[in-house]
Amino acid sequence: MPVAWRYSGNQLKRWRTKANVTREELAAASNYSPDTIKSMEQGVRMPTPRVLDVADELCRAEGLLSAAKEYLQREKFPARAQDFMEREKEAISLWSYEVMYVPGLLQTETYARSLIENHVPTLDEETVERRIAARMERQAILRGRKPPVGLSFVINEAALRTPQVDAEQLTRLLEVSGLRNVVVQVLSFERAIPAAFMGPMVLLETRDHERFAFAEGPFASELSADPEFVSRASERLSMIRTQALSPAESARFVERMVDQS
């Protein structure tokens, strides 16, 4: 749980208790369930701007609760991914391998929305919109850095065969692959090796030349600078890259998919 969630939730509970406002009263006034308010106070969920503003007025906090919004708006990503996102902002190079999804940095808004709106457990509308916006903002790394960040993506063919991937998303891959600092490769079914089924991963190097490996699973993620962990991830990714189609072959592969869509 992010520290900002826990601290804001703690202050929310303290002010509510001091003002003799029940959890049920705050829930009704902000149009949330009492259980949701409880989870916000415990730091399990991020206190939303609406709850903070309503609580500020009910508890006569004179703007002190509402002021937390500025800090919580920075929490745009799932808690387990926040450390990685901070490192991504500092990256000078990034190598990525994805098994079942188009990498977030290459997603169209439509594709991103289809994934985020169908997240399990279900996300509230504010969280959905915040995460979509954050994912689009991350894509500034593709063009907006000087010197440009070196980016390499290997995408398993399985990720491109899901119903969410439409012609717009495929065309987006072709557009991005045309950037001088970006390499996009497809790992076709015929070339897949056992190492390719061990899950997605990212390797990145920061401006301070620190190297990190990030491995993400359905229930847990791990970001590590441990040399042994980074070395193992680098070896696996290198094996996968050698089996993937070349950038030119990959572009032709995606072009054929566009024609067939």
Which carries the bigger pLDDT value, residue 125 or residue 183? 183
Structure tokens at 248: 């030119």
User: Which of 204, 196, 176, 197 lies closest to 242, judged by CA?
Assistant: 196
- Domains in the chain (CATH in brackets) are 3-72 (1.10.260.40), 79-260 (3.30.870.10)
Average pLDDT for the chain? 91
* Dist CA 112 CA 105 (whole Å): 10
User: Which of 176, 164, 154 lies closest to 99, judged by CA?
Assistant: 154
The residues pairing with 98 across neighbouring beta strands, listed in sequence order, are 155
Confidence (pLDDT) at 125: 87
Over residues 151-165, the mean pLDDT reads 97
User: Which of 21, 257, 73 lies closest to 155, judged by CA?
Assistant: 257
- The count of residues in the chain is 261
Confidence (pLDDT) at 148: 95
Confidence (pLDDT) at 211: 94
Q: Model pTM?
A: 0.72
Confidence (pLDDT) at 10: 93
Tokens 């391998």 locate to 97
Cβ neighbourhood burial of 71 (10 Å; 0-12, 13-18, 19+): middle
The percent of residues above 90 in pLDDT, for the chain, comes to 72
Sign of CA dihedral 223, 86, 46, 5: positive
Q: In this structure, which amino acid lies at residue 40?
A: M
> pLDDT by residue (tens digit) across 132-145?
999 999 999 999 78
> pLDDT by residue (tens digit) across 177-220?
999 999 999 999 999 999 999 999 999 999 888 999 998 776 66
> pLDDT by residue (tens digit) across 19-52?
999 999 999 999 888 998 999 999 888 888 889 9
> pLDDT by residue (tens digit) across 74-124?
555 665 576 788 789 889 999 999 999 999 999 999 999 999 999 888 888
